[in-house]
């Protein structure tokens, strides 16, 4: 396992929302999200694209004042105009839908690099989220993921657009995306990027707002060692924050396992088995990652709580 | 790099259903390994041996090879790609069938090992190019480079995911499948066959994770593994050897069914037909060839089992 990345971002929960809907945008800071994804793409009607774009600059500080990171999802076919309007201080990531070729990411990188320079943003701040949502994207996954150092998180190859592109059913009781998910995940791991994927859980309803389901999915992800979430409805934010944060019990187990591993290693042994659990270098790496992730989650929660308190103290 | 020759079918007739991994540093495990009935015993010098124990473990390999081989199993040594020089110096002796390179990540590592093997074969009186390599693709990088790794040397006989679930930290999903494993298994099996190598592994599912699986679940896991194209599997417990041998051996029922199917096909062909109706199925040349391969494998398995029994009892070993 690669060494623990100490600059790792905590992105357990996040809401994607049309930037043109004030009641979503104005309340976003209260939702407890790790990130807010301001959408210019599929949730914004064609005739409002220009108007939507002009809202981003003010929306960034608005949605992030409660401690969330601010992202923007741009339109696949409106890259230049969208980027000009959105790359401002406070933006953490540009999500680029239906990424299909490495050159697309290289182009985004060049424009973002220029805008960072022109607008006083530290070079390399703005990430690129290369969303894999088509068969072509899957076929070029490794090249896309390695096209720019701004791509720090990768995965996907599931969801509505993917199912439409492949002509497969969205809500079935089996995993219809085994191959595409595998391709993007292998690229992510080979390049040592943060993995954004989910274990398969049967979903036959497509509900975006069921908190119990959101918690079960988040918990399944956490148990698989996966760390990244996000959704569309405020109901799922808290379940994702909880479900993707290690429990006290897991933290205690990880500490005890590391203790046992240290004893084992100091006696020169490579592995042992205690009560049905294998203890070796890999189990120790896994325990260390969990403790580090738990620490980052706690820091993130504190950061958000302080930000919210600051806003609430402000007059008016 | 030149592509390999077309698939060498005879490779499949080396019956290697069970690969018992024993830490080379543990004399008790090494001394009893040949009694477990494994087709292959793997003397491990990599992950199962603590750093401090490695020099001592290496010094025992030459004697262990002979001991295990006399008991009827083929012998491989599993080496660490970072320590390949020391590990191979200690391992290349007459009687060795090949090496497993654990956590291999690049074709260069395979080429280096292959060149070193060639030199040691020459120095120590082994036939040139006789030692085989199994590449254990246990990391993301290794799997990503899997195709190049498999083509890096003519010695590559097989590919395995080894302990990828542990090394890559792949854990059970709610369905019981190990995260990412279905993809990695299919990928490994496909690219193995594309280069004429043999895929080794088993289809583990929660709650069975290799090391701790019961004998019954090991059988099921091996059987599922054979169903998707694996030809044999590694294991760590001696009790898992029997179930794996059984799982990777065609059953009597399968063999007799294949026999009846072939009879019907031959009868049809004699009457000038290309395909025949048999039971509810249509049997054509491809199906017939597959049935013949299954019968051949069954025969090869029996022969292998006889050879192991003969070796254990000190009788002359039958030769095909």
* Per-residue pLDDT reduced to its tens digit, A25-76: 999 999 999 999 999 999 999 999 999 999 999 999 999 999 999 999 999 9
> B124: distance to nearest CA of chain A, Å?
31
How far apart, in Å, are the Cα atoms of B203 and each of A281, B135, B139, B165, B170?
A: 24, 18, 18, 12, 14
| Mean pLDDT calculated for residue range A90-99 | 98
Task: Tell me what pLDDT residue A233 has.
Answer: 94
Task: Tell me what pLDDT residue A277 has.
Answer: 80
Q: How far apart are CA B32 and CA B50, in angstroms?
A: 21
Q: How far apart are CA A169 and CA B251, in angstroms?
A: 38
Q: A148-152, A173-177, B7-11, B58-62: lowest mean pLDDT where?
A: B7-11
Give per-residue pLDDT as tens, A189-232: 999 999 999 999 887 787 889 999 999 999 999 999 999 999 99
How far apart, in Å, are the Cα atoms of B128 and each of B12, B117, B118?
A: 21, 9, 6
Task: Tell me what pLDDT residue B8 has.
Answer: 43
Q: Categorize the per-residue pLDDT at A265 as very low, low, confident or very high, splitting at 50, 70 and 90.
A: confident
Task: Tell me what pLDDT residue A207 has.
Answer: 84
Whether B101 contacts B136, CB under 8 Å: yes
| Interchain contact, B168 vs A185, CB within 8 Å | no
> Does the pLDDT of residue A1 top 50, yes or no?
no
Give per-residue pLDDT as tens, B112-133: 999 999 999 999 999 999 999 9
| Interchain contact, B143 vs A183, CB within 8 Å | no
Q: How far apart are CA B65 and CA B97, in angstroms?
A: 10
Task: Tell me what pLDDT residue A267 has.
Answer: 84
Reported as half-sphere exposure (CB side, CA atoms, 13 A), residue B287 has a value of 19
Closest CA to B100 of B128, B130, B129, B77: B77
| Mean pLDDT calculated for residue range B282-308 | 94
| Interchain contact, A187 vs B175, CB within 8 Å | no
β-bridge mates for residue A127, sequence order: A93
> Does the pLDDT of residue A145 top 50, yes or no?
yes
Whether B84 contacts B112, CB under 8 Å: yes
Q: Would you give the DSSP letter of residue B317?
A: P
Among candidates B53, B144, B182 on the partner chain, residue whose Cβ is nearest the Cβ of A178: B182
Task: Tell me what pLDDT residue B244 has.
Answer: 97
Closest CA to A13 of A215, A282, A289: A215
Q: B170 to chain A: which residues are within 8 Å by CB? A: 224
Q: How far apart are CA B97 and CA B76, in angstroms?
A: 6
Q: Which two tokens stand for residue B259?
A: 């026999």
> Does the pLDDT of residue B5 top 70, yes or no?
no
Q: Scan for tokens 């274990």, then name that residue.
A: A199
Burial class (CB in 10 A: 0-12, 13-18, 19+), A8: middle
Task: Tell me what pLDDT residue B1 has.
Answer: 38
CA angle A282, B43, A274 (to 5 degrees): 40
The backbone torsions φ and ψ at residue A141, rounded to the nearest 5 degrees and listed phi first, read -55, -50
Residue in B54, B169, B208, B211 to test binding to A, most A beta-carbons within 10 Å? B169
> Does the pLDDT of residue A270 top 70, yes or no?
yes
> B33: distance to nearest CA of chain A, Å?
19
Q: Scan for tokens 């594309």, then name that residue.
A: B194
Q: Categorize the per-residue pLDDT at B208 as very low, low, confident or very high, splitting at 50, 70 and 90.
A: confident
Task: Tell me what pLDDT residue A260 has.
Answer: 94
Task: Tell me what pLDDT residue B74 has.
Answer: 96
| Interchain contact, A190 vs B144, CB within 8 Å | yes
Q: Categorize the per-residue pLDDT at A316 as very low, low, confident or very high, splitting at 50, 70 and 90.
A: low
Among candidates A1, A269, A289 on the partner chain, residue whose Cβ is nearest the Cβ of B50: A269
Mean pLDDT of chain B: 92
Q: Scan for tokens 């999500």, then name that residue.
A: A95
What percentage of chain A reaches a pLDDT higher than 90?
82
CA angle A5, A103, A232 (to 5 degrees): 60
Q: Which two tokens stand for residue B83?
A: 């320590």
Q: Would you give the DSSP letter of residue B103?
A: T
> Does the pLDDT of residue A2 top 90, yes or no?
no
| Mean pLDDT calculated for residue range A264-292 | 88
| Mean pLDDT calculated for residue range A99-112 | 98
| Mean pLDDT calculated for residue range A248-255 | 97
Q: Categorize the per-residue pLDDT at B6 as very low, low, confident or very high, splitting at 50, 70 and 90.
A: very low
* Kind and range of the H or E run holding B160: strand B156-160
Label residues B132-159 b or e (16+ Cβ within 10 Å = b).
bbbbbbbbbbbbbbbbebbbbbebbbbb
Q: Categorize the per-residue pLDDT at B70 as very low, low, confident or very high, splitting at 50, 70 and 90.
A: confident
Residue in B46, B140, B145 to test binding to A, most A beta-carbons within 10 Å? B140
Q: A290 to chain B: which residues are within 8 Å by CB? A: none
| Interchain contact, B50 vs A220, CB within 8 Å | no
Task: Tell me what pLDDT residue A283 has.
Answer: 92
Q: How far apart are CA B113 and CA B81, in angstroms?
A: 8
Q: Categorize the per-residue pLDDT at B3 as very low, low, confident or very high, splitting at 50, 70 and 90.
A: very low
Q: How far apart are CA A244 and CA A218, in angstroms?
A: 6
Q: A145-149, A163-167, B92-96: lowest mean pLDDT where?
A: A163-167
| Interchain contact, B52 vs A270, CB within 8 Å | no
> Does the pLDDT of residue B12 top 60, yes or no?
no
Q: How far apart are CA B268 and CA B271, in angstroms?
A: 5
Taking phi over 0 as left and psi of -120 to 50 as alpha, with beta for the rest, B113 belongs to alpha
Closest CA to B320 of B45, B56, B10: B10
> A98: distance to nearest CA of chain B, Å?
22
Residues 6+ apart with CB under 8 A from A126: A87, A91, A92, A93, A94, A112, A116, A150
Task: Tell me what pLDDT residue B11 has.
Answer: 44
Q: Which two tokens stand for residue A314?
A: 């402000």
| Mean pLDDT calculated for residue range B43-66 | 94
Q: A94-103, A131-140, A195-204: lowest mean pLDDT where?
A: A195-204
Q: Scan for tokens 């854990």, then name that residue.
A: B171
Q: Categorize the per-residue pLDDT at A5 as very low, low, confident or very high, splitting at 50, 70 and 90.
A: low
Q: A199 to chain B: which residues are within 8 Å by CB? A: 173-175, 179
> Does the pLDDT of residue B69 top 80, yes or no?
yes
Q: How far apart are CA B103 and CA B95, in angstroms?
A: 24
Whether B59 contacts B43, CB under 8 Å: no
| Mean pLDDT calculated for residue range B216-232 | 95
Task: Tell me what pLDDT residue A28 has.
Answer: 97
Task: Tell me what pLDDT residue B210 has.
Answer: 65
Q: Hey, is B98 helix, strand or coil?
A: strand
Q: B23 to chain A: which residues are within 8 Å by CB? A: 270
Q: Categorize the per-residue pLDDT at A146 as very low, low, confident or very high, splitting at 50, 70 and 90.
A: very high
Mean pLDDT of chain A: 94
Task: Tell me what pLDDT residue B320 has.
Answer: 57
The backbone torsions φ and ψ at residue B152, rounded to the nearest 5 degrees and listed phi first, read -70, -25
> Does the pLDDT of residue B163 top 70, yes or no?
yes
Q: Which two tokens stand for residue A128?
A: 């690129």
Task: Tell me what pLDDT residue A160 has.
Answer: 87
Whether A10 contacts A300, CB under 8 Å: yes
> Does the pLDDT of residue A81 top 90, yes or no?
yes
By residue count, chain B amounts to 320
pLDDT top residue among B295 and A170:
B295
| Mean pLDDT calculated for residue range A272-288 | 88
pLDDT top residue among A316 and B197:
B197
Q: Would you give the DSSP letter of residue B172?
A: B
> Does the pLDDT of residue B318 top 70, yes or no?
no
Taking phi over 0 as left and psi of -120 to 50 as alpha, with beta for the rest, A157 belongs to left
Q: Hey, is B109 helix, strand or coil?
A: helix
């Amino acid at each position: 396992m690669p060494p623990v990345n100490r600059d790792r971002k905590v992105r357990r929960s996040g809401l994607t929302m049309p930037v043109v809907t004030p009641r979503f945008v104005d309340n976003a800071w209260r939702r407890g999200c790790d990130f807010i994804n301001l959408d210019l793409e599929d949730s914004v009607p064609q005739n409002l694209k220009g108007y939507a774009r002009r809202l981003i600059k003010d929306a960034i500080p608005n949605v992030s004042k409660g401690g969330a990171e601010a992202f923007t999802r741009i339109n696949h076919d409106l890259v230049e105009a969208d980027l000009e309007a959105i790359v401002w201080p406070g933006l953490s990531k540009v999500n680029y839908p239906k990424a299909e070729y490495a050159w697309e990411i290289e182009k985004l990188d060049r424009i973002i690099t220029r805008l960072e320079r022109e607008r006083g943003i530290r070079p390399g701040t703005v990430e690129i989220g290369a969303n894999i949502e088509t068969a072509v994207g899957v076929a070029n996954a490794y090249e896309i993921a390695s096209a720019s150092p701004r791509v720090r998180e990768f995965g996907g190859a599931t969801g509505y657009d993917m199912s439409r592109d492949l002509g497969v059913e969205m809500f079935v009781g089996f995993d219809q995306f085994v191959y595409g998910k595998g391709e993007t995940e292998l690229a992510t791991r080979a390049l040592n990027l943060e993995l954004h994927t989910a274990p398969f859980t049967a979903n036959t309803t497509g509900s975006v707002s069921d908190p119990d389901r959101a918690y079960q999915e988040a918990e399944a992800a956490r148990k698989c060692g996966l760390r990244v979430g996000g959704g569309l409805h405020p109901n799922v934010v808290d379940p994702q924050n909880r479900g993707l944060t290690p429990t006290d019990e897991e933290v205690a187990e990880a500490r005890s396992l590391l203790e046992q591993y240290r004893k084992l290693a100091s006696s020169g042994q490579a592995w042992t088995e205690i009560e049905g659990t294998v203890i070796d270098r890999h189990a120790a790496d896994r325990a260390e990652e969990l403790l580090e992730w738990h620490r980052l989650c706690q820091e993130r929660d504190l950061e958000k709580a302080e930000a919210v308190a600051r806003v609430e103290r402000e007059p008016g | 790099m030149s592509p390999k020759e077309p698939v060498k079918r005879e490779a499949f007739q080396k019956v290697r259903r069970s690969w018992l991994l024993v830490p080379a540093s543990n004399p008790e495990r090494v001394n009893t390994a040949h009694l477990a009935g494994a087709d292959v015993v793997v003397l491990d010098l990599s992950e199962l041996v603590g750093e401090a124990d490695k020099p001592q473990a290496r010094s025992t390999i030459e004697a262990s090879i002979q001991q295990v081989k006399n008991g009827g199993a083929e012998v491989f040594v599993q080496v660490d790609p970072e320590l390949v020089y020391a590990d191979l110096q200690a391992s290349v002796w007459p009687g060795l069938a090949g090496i497993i390179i654990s956590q291999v990540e690049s074709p260069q590592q395979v080429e280096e090992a292959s060149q070193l093997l060639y030199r040691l074969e020459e120095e120590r009186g082994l036939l040139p190019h006789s030692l085989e390599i199994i590449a254990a693709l246990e990391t993301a990088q290794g799997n990503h480079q899997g195709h190049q790794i498999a083509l890096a040397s003519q010695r590559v006989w097989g590919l395995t995911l080894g302990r990828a679930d542990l090394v890559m930290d792949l854990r059970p999903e709610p369905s019981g499948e190990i995260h990412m494993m279905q993809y990695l298994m299919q990928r490994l099996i496909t690219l193995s066959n594309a280069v004429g190598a043999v895929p080794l592994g088993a289809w583990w599912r929660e709650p069975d994770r290799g090391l701790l699986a019961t004998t019954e679940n090991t059988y099921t896991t091996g059987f599922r593994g054979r169903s998707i194209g694996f030809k044999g599997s590694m294991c760590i417990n001696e009790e898992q050897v029997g179930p794996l041998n059984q799982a990777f051996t065609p059953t009597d029922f399968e063999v007799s069914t294949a026999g009846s199917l072939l009879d019907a096909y031959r009868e049809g062909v004699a009457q000038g037909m290309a395909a025949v109706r048999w039971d509810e199925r249509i049997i054509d040349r491809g199906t017939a060839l597959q049935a013949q391969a299954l019968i051949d494998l069954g025969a090869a398995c029996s022969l292998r089992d006889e050879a192991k029994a003969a070796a254990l009892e000190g009788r002359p070993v039958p030769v095909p």
